[in-house]
Structure 1
Amino acid sequence: MRLSIGEILSWLSILAAAAASLYYAPNLPSRIATHFDIEGRPNGWMDKNSALIFGPAMAVGLYILLSVLIYLASSERGELRLDENSAKMMQTIKGLVVFLVAAVHIGILWHAVGVLKEPLSSIIVPISLMFAYIGWAITKAKRNWLMGVRLPWTLVDERAWRVGNLIMGWGLVVCAVLNLTGLFLPKLWFWILTVTLAAAVSLSVVASYIVYRSGPNATAR
């Protein structure tokens, strides 16, 4: 059976996270910073062994969870079934999520051994890739219960689904581009991303509801 891009990316990411743990284990201090504030200052720590295991374990856990959800959504017999094309896109999203977890783990290890002053720079590009692909994918997806803007009115109205996902999809693409400001504006990065993402979500919810209320599926007041 031919493996999808998402499967290949998932397994390579898991292997990379595990390999990084094995490689850096002898050089790590007994206590490692694993959580940072929006300016990159450490504000949470783990003991060495827990930190080495946590990243790869989370990557494996998310891989299993998303694989099960994709299987269940694809097996759905109703009109909200995840079709073949959407399932392929979800496989790629799964790979990008696992890749991001691996990048976070490796960034934390690099910070611990002094390669990076703060791990933010190691995850900016993976986050942008994930946002951009998810944004593109949900503009193509048909109604389903796993991916896209899944609201009570978008799941029952095709027009509301299309409008909500087009706005949210392109909003995520904009977020992906603006997220790159974290490479040279680290102190503003979080706020730029948060405001843009909140605007995309709000516009998507409001616009899709307006379309729903104007259509034949809206319940009478």
Structure 2
Amino acid sequence: MSLRRSHLAGLALVALSAAMSALAVSEMPAEMATHWNAAGEIDGQTPKIVALALFPALSAGMLALFALLPRIDPLGENVAAFREQYDTFVVLLLAFLTYVHALVLAANAGYEFEMVQALAPAVGALYYYVGVLSAHAERNWFVGIRTPWTISDDEVWRRTHERAAPLFKLAGVVAAFGAVVPAYAELLLAAPVFAVALYSTVYSYVAYRNVST
């Protein structure tokens, strides 16, 4: 996906999110539910105008940020090597935010469903693509597994990301199962990706010690 196409897709998703808010404004309560706990119970509310503006503004901010990062990265030329995967990740992230926005609007409109269960497939898909991105990412300051050891050495970066990529994909598959086993959905969403992140951090240190000796 080219940069121009990713920008257009991102802008379309921002516009869709804003249109969803505009169409839903008359149906929303004055105080909208915006946060659910692990049991699926509402434990946070936000004034309607703020809540409706939140996701379009967040999506627009993320699109602008990810467009800027390769330009300010000291290793920005490396991003060009995996730009297709980078741009696709940005679009998928904005699609995820739009999906979450739709769920929040639906819940506040009176539709009944388990929020964490509904989120599980989308979170799983995002985790899985992080694995795809990790398999292609070259050393940079903003995207990937950025530890002191991966940032310091190309070989450590390569080894760590090769090891982590399939694990992130597996974490995505596990997270998606939260849709069919809602009692464990929160655990399936959080535990695998935390384990992968911890393992990757430790592995990057071990790889650095091996490379430097």
1:36-60 CA-to-partner distances (Å, cap 9, x unmatched) read 1122111000111111111111111
Q: Which range moves more in the overlay, 8-17 or 30-39?
A: 8-17
Q: Which range moves more in the overlay, 118-127 or 26-35?
A: 118-127
Task: Work out which of the residue numbers 157, 160, 168 in structure 1 matches 2:164.
Answer: 168
* In structure 2, distance between residues paired with 1:175 and 1:7: 28
Whether the 8 Å CA contact 1:9–1:99 is kept in 2: the answer is no
Deviation at 1:121, TM superposition (A): 4.4
Aligned to 1:103: 99
Aligned to 2:137: 141
Q: 1:192 to 1:123 in 2, by over 3 A?
A: closer
For the pair 1:193 / 2:189, whether they are aligned, the reply is yes
1:92-135 CA-to-partner distances (Å, cap 9, x unmatched) read 21112211111111110000012343433443333222211121
Which structure shows the bigger proportion of residues in helix conformation? 2
Deviation at 1:8, TM superposition (A): 3.7
**AA in 2 matched with 1:138:** S
Aligned to 1:202: 198
**AA in 2 matched with 1:112:** N
Task: Work out which of the residue numbers 116, 120, 127 in structure 2 matches 1:124.
Answer: 120
- Give me the identity figure in percent: 24
Structure 1 unpaired stretches of 5+: none
* In structure 2, distance between residues paired with 1:161 and 1:3: 25
**AA in 2 matched with 1:148:** G
* In structure 1, distance between residues paired with 2:169 and 2:117: 19
TM-score, with length taken from structure 1: 0.86
* In structure 2, distance between residues paired with 1:193 and 1:124: 7
Q: 1:196 to 1:70 in 2, by over 3 A?
A: same
* In structure 2, distance between residues paired with 1:156 and 1:27: 53
Q: 1:39 to 1:92 in 2, by over 3 A?
A: same
**AA in 2 matched with 1:119:** M
* In structure 1, distance between residues paired with 2:77 and 2:5: 22
> How many aligned residue pairs are there?
212
Task: Work out which of the residue numbers 79, 86, 89 in structure 2 matches 1:83.
Answer: 79
Q: Which range moves more in the overlay, 102-111 or 201-210?
A: 201-210
* In structure 1, distance between residues paired with 2:119 and 2:9: 16
**AA in 2 matched with 1:98:** L
Deviation at 1:164, TM superposition (A): 1.3
Whether the 8 Å CA contact 2:123–2:172 is kept in 1: the answer is yes
* In structure 1, distance between residues paired with 2:35 and 2:160: 34
Task: Work out which of the residue numbers 159, 173, 180 in structure 1 matches 2:176.
Answer: 180
* In structure 2, distance between residues paired with 1:38 and 1:146: 30
* In structure 1, distance between residues paired with 2:47 and 2:187: 31
Q: 1:148 to 1:125 in 2, by over 3 A?
A: same
